[in-house]
Amino acid sequence: MRQETQLYITLQQFLKREAIISTGGQAKAFLLHNVVLVNGQAEKRRGRKLRLNDNVTINNTVHIVDYI
């Protein structure tokens, strides 16, 4: 079986890495109470896979996934 290199980060991991939330457990509540857009579409799934150059918009601030 061939192993694939992980070429994505989850939305939850991204929120933690950007210091928007401090723990992974906060992701569910954060996504419930805030409008988060991924590439212009509303997203509520903390496990959403983000790839390089995806745009994550939170409170009218755009964050670009520039490294995995």
Q: Kindly tell me if the per-residue pLDDT of 1 is higher than 60.
A: no
CATH number of 9-64: 3.10.290.10
CB 5 within 8 A of CB 22: no
pTM of the model: 0.88
Rounded Cα distance, 22 and 47, in Å: 16
β-strands 36-38, 49-50 pairing = unpaired
Rounded Cα distance, 17 and 8, in Å: 13
β-strands 49-50, 9-10 pairing = antiparallel
Rounded Cα distance, 33 and 48, in Å: 17
- Digit-coded pLDDT (tens) for 5-60: 779 999 999 999 999 999 989 999 999 999 999 999 999 999 999 999 999 999 99
> Residue 6's pLDDT is what?
75
